[in-house]
Structure 1
Amino acid sequence: MSTPLLSDFPELADLSREDLEDLLSDPVYFQAIFHSLDRVKAMYQSQAELGMANESIASAFRSRYTDYAPRRRRRLTMRRTWRQGGGTWRESSGRCISPQFLLMRLKHSKTAQDDASEALASAFVSSSSTDAGSGTGTPNGAGAGKEIDDFIREFKDLRKTYHKRVMWEDRWSSGRVNWRDD
C-alpha cells in the first residue's frame, strides 16, 4: 500500500505502523526522525552556507562603511546646510565657484562697502552737528581730535576697500580677468 506520505518521504517506508503512530504522538521521536531525513539535512546545510555568505558580505560592507562613513556624514551635513539656506545641493554645487557668481558677489560687496562708508560718514556728521548745536562739545575740544582721527582712519579703510572692488570690477568688465580651470 503506497500512501502520499511514503511517496513523498521514501525514508519512512521502512517504519512500521506502530512506529508511524509513535512518530505522530511523540514530539521528541518526531524531531529525531525529522532531522535524520536527507532532505532536511540538505536544507540545513544550504541554510548554513547562505548564512556564512551573508556574514561574509556583511563583514565586507562593514569594513567599507567604516572607510566611507566620515565622508558620507560630511556630505549629508553639507546637503542639510545648503537646504536650510534655501537652495538645493544640485543647484549650489557649481554656482558658488562660477565666474558669474563671483562677479555678482563682487558687485554686491562693492555696494555694501559703499553703503557702510556712507552710513559711517552720515553718523559722524549728525553726531558732530548735534554736539555743536547743543553746546556740549566743540570741534576744538580735547576729545574731538581723537574722534576725528578715529573717523578718518575708519572711513579711509572702508573707502580703500570700496575703490579696490571698483577697480576689480572695471578690470573684469574690460576683459582683463582670466579664469583658470584648476
Structure 2
Amino acid sequence: MYAHAPPVPPPKPPGNQDVSRMNTPASGQLPRPPPPLPEAMAGGSDATGSLATAQGNIAQFQATADPGDQWLPKFLEDKSKQDLADILSDPTLLSALTHSPQTIHPSLRASHDALQAALAENMERAAQLLDLEARLTHQRSAAQAQLLSTHALERQWRAKQAEMDHALAPFAPASLYQRLARGVTEQEGVCYALEESFLEGEGDGALATEREAGDWVRRYREAKKLYYLRQERKERWDEGRVGGWR
C-alpha cells in the first residue's frame, strides 16, 4: 500500500483575493450607470423607441440586486482549485470568463445592455444629424444662389436708376431754376435791344412811319410782358412760393 502524497496547493491569487470573488464586483462598488439619454428629436418614432429601450435597460441595471461576495459563476462551481488557480493566472482567460454570456455578472450584463442601447441611440442621432447636415447644405446653397441673384438685380437697378436720373436731369428743380434765371436774363437783353433800336432809328435820320412805330410798340409790349412774367416766376421761386419744388 502506498500512501498518495497530497496534491500541491494552488498558488495564492494576486492580492490574496478569494477565488469566489474573482468575477464579483465589490459590494457597494457596482459599475456606475451611464448618464441619462437626452430627449429624442421631435417626429422620430425610431429614436423614441430606442430611447425608451435604453431607459428601460438603465432602469433594469439600477434595479439589479447584488448577489453578494460569495457569488460564483455556475460554470466554475465544479472546478478544482488547480483549475481556478490556472484561470486566475491567465488574464486572457479571466477576461473571457468575466464577459462571457454564460459567466457574466448580472450587474455587468445590465451595464453592457445599457451601453449597447446608448451606442445604438448615438448612432441613430448621428444618422439624423447627417441628414440634417445634407438638408442644411442644400438650403444654404439655395440661399447663397438667391443672394447672388439679388445682388445682380441690385446692380441692374442702380444702372437703370442712373440712366433715369440722367434722362430726367433737365427736368430737375435745379435745372428748371437755371433755365428760368437764364430766360429772365435773355428776355431782359431782348427788351434792351428793342429800346436801343428805337432810340437809334434807321441810322439815316429819317423818321419812322406810324406803322413801323405801332409794330415796334407791339413787339416791345410782348417782349416786356414775357420779361415780367419770367421775373415774377423767378421771384416766387426765390420766396419759396412754388409748390412741389421745395
TM-score class, shorter-chain normalisation, is: 0.3 to 0.5
TM-score by length of 1: 0.42
Q: Could you say which structure has the greater relative contact order, defined with CA pairs below 8 angstroms and 6 or more residues apart?
A: 2
Determine which structure has more spread, i.e. the larger CA radius of gyration: 2
